Structure 1
Amino acid sequence: MFIFSSLLFFLPIAYAVPVDPITGATSTNNESDILPRVKIQNGTIIGQGLGAVEDFKGIPYAQAPVGPLRLRAPLPLNKGFGTMIAPLIPNSCPQFITSIDKSNLPNNVIQLLSNTPFVQVATQQSEDCLNLNVQRPAGTTSKSNLPVVVYFFGGAFELGSTQLYDGSSIITKSMILDHPILYVAVNYRVAGFGFLAGKEIMADGSSNLGLRDQRLALKWVQDNIAAFGGDPTKVTIWGESAGAISAFDHTIINGGDNSYGQGSLFHGVIMNSGSIIPAVPVNHPKAQTVYDQVAAAAGCGWKADSLACLRKVPYQNFLNAQSSVPGFLGYRSVDLAYLPRPDPSDNFFPLSPEIPVSNGAFTKVPIIIGDQEDEGTIFSLFQKNITTTNELVTYLTSFFPEADRSVLAGLVATYPNNPAAGSPFGTGLLYNIYPQYKRLAAILGDAVFTLTRRGYLSTVSSQVPSWSFLSTYLSGTPVLGTFHASDVLENFFDLPSIPAAVAVQNYYISFINYGNPNSITKANDVPWQRYDAANPVLLNVGALGVSTLQDTFRKESGEYLVRVQHDLRI
């Protein structure tokens, strides 16, 4: 998904709606007169859609983080915007599509071109991007009180946009089931704009800005969603990959306290491929290296106040500078330059995520969490020089700066040096495109996603209702298997003939409505067994439908990862 979603950003888009340049009034033609409109705290939104789903896209939920507000925590809107026609395609936040290394031309010409003004305009990238989309069934009113799902996109905390995640399919399905839902998708800052770290960032109180954007959006939902017909007491947060990690992070932010006003920000969590990512602090030397590289590339490295300089450099300069570090679609893979890092100076996100989970300091709400069978394959395509066990251990040492080499050697030893045991799983000796490919793919997939999920559930499933799944519907696909983010297709596209897609949407709609994936029953549904660490059963989402599967595969590796999780901070 990361690969083809990156290409989608290059599709040119243009849209204009007639508005009086003096009064701001909308056109009085017949079409605009019948378009849906909703009055919220800061103004009136005129939506789109004359069919089954009504769209209110690009609604601002914060002040534009531009000028002196660049690299600062988001601020709520402080003035009204009058009447606004929702655009068909809202601005996306600036992207880190791939890294820029000007010393390696012409190989990196495409990387430079991805940040040119033409591509920025064509994909509607802008620093003024803190907006969200609301989509609802046609005919919904402020009295409908529909359950709400809030979606956070994935993209390795480097790229992504609500442009790619339209909720029409799942909304339509919810209407067919007669259990309608309301869908919200949130744009938040990514890469250097949203997750730059370093001691300068920590001293300024400006860490984890992308998470702070999301948190402010959740508060916006509480304040405004009733006007659209949503029930603020029934909000589920949902994300995939970086979005799933974000959704998990919201369960530990502020020590697990998600209260807001007289209620709570959310009441359930769905995590597709992502949960705990142990991380070194925002001021750790590893994080500082990224900050120093970005500051130097922007021409700010020699300044006494480099952060103030970064706020003042032209947009294009900062865009290129934040793209000067390694990207996830490259040799460094999931050793990410940008990700949520604990900031011990701030109660917002002070601890490495495994600590509050171990301490029980997380939001106690029902959860769904699951993975694709071959999470690590797309992240292991670029390391063909790794041919031996020793080289594999050496490669992993840079991921985890606080781990002793012996710890990593112990982890690698739990994975046989045999392609038949590697990922894509179940493919025997096939598809080992370089000597350690399938072994590395298994390790990265398990350590970042699949077996970390199991460790997480071993702690939380006794405290909150939990359901877990493994998707295997692309099993046997050459080289990639059931690869990371392939589930986006089933969740967001209309695939009525694919049993897995139908089943998963049924379960999710039930969970969003009732906090339980089994509350909406159909004759062909397989009951999704609640997860129990003593008898861990997964829903197996296969090509021909769903079944059950014991969550006991690669047991030795899973137990080892739990024992050394404090050492494996990225």
Structure 2
Amino acid sequence: MMLISNILLGLCFFAFSSTVDGQTTVELDYGTFIGVEDSSTNITSFLGVRYAEPPVGDLRWQAPVFPPTTQLGTVNASAYGNSCIPVPQSTVVSGTSEDCLFVNVFTPLGATSNSNLPIMVCLHGGGFQSGNSQVDAVPLMNASAGMIFVSIEYRLGQFGFLAGSTFAAANVSLNAGMLDQRTALMWIQRYISSFGGDPTQVTIWGESAGAGGIMFHLIANGGDQEGLFHAAMGDSVSLSYMPDCDSDYHSDIFALFAGFAGCSSSSDVMACLLAADADTLVSAGTQTVDNRTSTLYIWDPCADTGGTFLATRPVEAFASGAFAQVPGLFGSNTDEGANWSADLPNPDANTSEPNATETTVYNFVAGQYPTFTNDSFATAMELYPLADYNNSFSLQGQQMYGEARYICSGLMIAAAMSRVGLDAYHYHYNNPDQGSDHGSELIALFDPTSDFSGNDAALFVSMQEFWTSFVIAQSPIAASVSTWLPVTNSTSGGPRLLLQPGGIAMENVTDALSARCAFWHSLGAEIST
């Protein structure tokens, strides 16, 4: 599917844009899309633009059909399309659907097919189980010197990341949600020039699972980005558990899911699941998640070690240099691990419980990385002595998890890029005023800076300038702020930029953090990362 789609990218197609009576119209080979011009923001938006055929019926759990084959006629692109169905939901609620493969395109007012603007592509977070593409692009668009912003819907949870031996042996596509993202990038290559974009200037960005998606695109196909992007950015890259697609772990989840969907006793389980209505699968997905009481996210991309798309796990790929050779900007927040354990229903894995013990900390971490051994945990306890965390198992566990999953992954990618001579920029977000938990930095990028004052407002203005200038020229620059230096230490991933109210400055990655990250990455084979 990938090869065929790439060949299609080179074919001629009919597309142009025009402005008539205050409406911006973009005509593609499968439909004409009428955008909404907003003179108050100086942005034209095209919402709910289909980028592939609906993945329903026989196309459920298949790679996206691209380019779209159904002629759409004239589409009033003034409202978001359906979001992909998240977990948990008990039924398909209004505004969500299996038919959800849409992009949203935001352009500067007056952009034409000759504008050749750089493009920032947004992959939303949500643990590959929730979230949607409906973000406010206005602050970043207005902070830039001229760019296009594109956000993407992709299949989630059981619709995008179902796996297991039965599933892997069937006539379906593994990691369909990742293939959705890849296909949306192909759509951009084929069509974005009609909206005013330059397909040779595409920067992909995401946060959390969205940043995890960025990481997977960097290592997909052995590091061949297929000309789909030329720079990459990631906030709090999620280094998730990634066993083989046909592993016992995924097979157990598949069996639970099939049982809740009423298909486990069928002579052909996959035929039963393909015939089931969406409501049945939605309910089954929620029941499956509820059954895994020590795990935060059960559906993530899996390793297709017999295939080509995601055949290698991140730690191995970045250690070996088998990743896309593009410049990058990555980082994380101080308190990435805070509050996650408190969301777990299993008290034996919830370190916020008053009677939490060392075993609770192990159960919490092992709930996210099920092959994490007691021997490795003993080493972790030496690296994270309880006394360093005010004798709090909750604080100790949150630091382990925050570094293992988020903080060390940005360090890993930045260091690997530096090793092969690429410009890599690394940051550390620390905001005592607004909080520094996972996702806290998003207010700096997507909330109007006028909502804040003083040092917070100044920090957020600078961050918007940093992010958008990297998109435009791969060099993060902000007015009246010290230069953001690229990573020079190809082991520690330092130096990095401290993004703090009233104190934006370069800092080194400490030897202690570097050692803890080296420990987690040394477990890549053990914990399937």
TM-score (norm 1): 0.82
Shift of 1:128: 0.7
Deviates more, 1:382-391 or 1:507-516: 382-391
> 2:426 aligns to what SS in structure 1?
strand
| 2:61 aligned to which of 64, 71, 77 | 71
Q: Is the 8 A contact 2:305 2:312 kept in 1?
A: yes
| 1:229 aligned to which of 196, 202, 205 | 196
Q: How many residues of Structure 1 are paired with residues of Structure 2 in the alignment? A: 490
Q: Is the 8 A contact 1:196 1:207 kept in 2?
A: yes
Q: Quickly say closer, same or farther: Cα 1:566–1:366, change in 2 above 3 A.
A: same
| 2:312 aligned to which of 351, 375, 386 | 351
Q: Is the 8 A contact 1:277 1:353 kept in 2?
A: no
- Which residue in the other structure is 2:14 paired with? none
The answer as to 2:329 corresponding to 1:368 is yes
Deviates more, 1:229-238 or 1:296-305: 296-305
- Which residue in the other structure is 1:103 paired with? none
Q: Aligned AA for 1:442? A: Q
- Which residue in the other structure is 2:78 paired with? 87
Q: Quickly say closer, same or farther: Cα 1:327–1:482, change in 2 above 3 A.
A: farther
Q: Aligned AA for 1:167? A: A
Shift of 1:454: 2.1
* CA-to-aligned-CA distance 1:417-436 (integer Å, 9 cap, x gap): 13xx34xxxxxx5xx8xx51
Partner Cα separation in structure 2 for residue 181 and residue 207 of structure 1: 33
Q: Quickly say closer, same or farther: Cα 1:187–1:441, change in 2 above 3 A.
A: same
Partner Cα separation in structure 2 for residue 141 and residue 327 of structure 1: 49
| 1:130 aligned to which of 63, 77, 101 | 101
Structure 1 vs Structure 2: percent identity of aligned residues? 29
- Which residue in the other structure is 1:24 paired with? none
Q: Quickly say closer, same or farther: Cα 1:351–1:300, change in 2 above 3 A.
A: same
| 1:563 aligned to which of 511, 518, 522 | 522
Gaps of at least 5 residues in structure 2 are 1-18, 344-349
Partner Cα separation in structure 2 for residue 332 and residue 146 of structure 1: 46
Shift of 1:308: 1.8
Map 1:49-60 → 2, pairs under 5 A? 49-51=37-39, 52-60=42-50
Shift of 1:243: 0.3
Partner Cα separation in structure 2 for residue 505 and residue 73 of structure 1: 35
The answer as to 2:227 corresponding to 1:257 is no
Shift of 1:390: 3.2
- Which residue in the other structure is 1:206 paired with? 173
| 2:156 aligned to which of 166, 186, 190 | 190
Q: Is the 8 A contact 1:278 1:353 kept in 2?
A: no
Q: Is the 8 A contact 1:500 1:542 kept in 2?
A: yes
Q: Quickly say closer, same or farther: Cα 1:223–1:555, change in 2 above 3 A.
A: closer
- Which residue in the other structure is 1:290 paired with? 253
Shift of 1:456: 3.3
Q: Aligned AA for 1:143? A: N
Shift of 1:457: 3.0
Map 1:26-425 → 2, pairs under 5 A? 33-51=21-39, 52-76=42-66, 77-97=68-88, 114-116=89-91, 120-121=93-94, 124-163=95-134, 165-174=135-144, 179-204=145-170, 205-259=172-226, 264-274=227-237, 276-277=239-240, 279-326=242-289, 332-334=294-296, 336-382=297-343, 383=350, 384-385=352-353, 387-418=356-387, 421-422=388-389
Give the number of the structure whose residues are more often helix, by fraction: 2
Q: Quickly say closer, same or farther: Cα 1:233–1:166, change in 2 above 3 A.
A: same
Partner Cα separation in structure 1 for residue 111 and residue 471 of structure 2: 17
Shift of 1:302: 1.3
- Which residue in the other structure is 1:470 paired with? 428
Q: Is the 8 A contact 2:123 2:207 kept in 1?
A: yes
Q: Is the 8 A contact 1:499 1:545 kept in 2?
A: no
Partner Cα separation in structure 1 for residue 47 and residue 280 of structure 2: 29
Shift of 1:310: 1.1
Q: Aligned AA for 2:466? A: Y
Q: Quickly say closer, same or farther: Cα 1:289–1:58, change in 2 above 3 A.
A: same
Q: Is the 8 A contact 1:473 1:500 kept in 2?
A: no
Shift of 1:455: 3.1
Shift of 1:387: 1.8
Partner Cα separation in structure 2 for residue 255 and residue 312 of structure 1: 35
- Which residue in the other structure is 2:464 paired with? 505
TM-score (norm 2): 0.88
* CA-to-aligned-CA distance 1:490-513 (integer Å, 9 cap, x gap): 111111441221111111111111
Q: Quickly say closer, same or farther: Cα 1:473–1:327, change in 2 above 3 A.
A: farther
* CA-to-aligned-CA distance 1:99-144 (integer Å, 9 cap, x gap): xxxxxxxxxxxxxxx4345xx11xx001110000000110111100
> 1:49 aligns to what SS in structure 2?
strand
Partner Cα separation in structure 1 for residue 243 and residue 436 of structure 2: 30
> 1:381 aligns to what SS in structure 2?
helix
Shift of 1:200: 2.3
- Which residue in the other structure is 1:3 paired with? none
Q: Quickly say closer, same or farther: Cα 1:416–1:310, change in 2 above 3 A.
A: same
The answer as to 2:448 corresponding to 1:458 is no
